[in-house]
């Protein structure tokens, strides 16, 4: 089944369940602040594993103890799709405080 772009309302409705995530132009965005560089690096590895499982890869930046992600679907012209929201939900489950590490 082809992936279709979501409407602004569909995206906003889904983001209500994803604290910290926002719509920034044509992509979803989220930054995580971790207690150390090691913790941030470990989370990047977990995110990479999820991206491989979904065959959907975000832009990801690692700072000293910060991770920034931007997510959209390039195959539909860079729009936000359900696949992006699925990735965001999976990444959010990895975040400290969610008990999924």
Rounded Cα distance between 100 and 44, Å, is 14
- What is the reported pTM? 0.92
Structural domain boundaries, residue 75: 22-98
How many domains is the chain partitioned into structurally? Answer: 1
Q: What is the 3-state secondary structure (H, E, C) of 44-99?
A: HHHHHHHHHHHCCCCEEEECCCEEEEEECEHHHCCECEHHHHHHHHHHHHHCCCCC
Is residue 57 included in any domain, yes or no?
yes
Residue 97 binned pLDDT confidence (cut-offs 50, 70, 90): confident
**What pLDDT, on the 0 to 100 scale, is given for residue 98?**
65
Asked whether residue 2 is domain-assigned, the answer is no
Residues 6+ apart with CB under 8 A from 86: 54, 56
15 belongs to a structural domain: no
**Is the pLDDT assigned to residue 100 strictly greater than 70?**
no
Is residue 91 in some structural domain?
yes
In a domain, 74, yes or no: yes
pLDDT tens, residue by residue, 5-51: 999 999 999 999 999 999 999 999 999 999 999 999 999 999 999 99
Task: CATH number of the domain at 47, please.
Answer: 3.30.1360.20
């Amino acid at each position: 089944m082809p992936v279709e772009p979501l409407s602004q309302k569909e995206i906003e409705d889904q983001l209500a369940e994803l604290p910290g995530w926002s719509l920034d132009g044509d992509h979803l965005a989220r930054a995580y602040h971790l207690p150390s560089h090691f913790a941030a690096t470990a989370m990047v590895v977990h995110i990479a594993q999820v991206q491989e499982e979904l065959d959907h890869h975000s832009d990801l930046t690692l700072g000293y103890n910060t991770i920034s992600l931007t997510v959209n679907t390039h195959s539909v012209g860079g729009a936000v799709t359900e696949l992006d929201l699925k990735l965001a939900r999976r990444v959010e489950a990895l975040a400290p405080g969610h008990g999924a590490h």
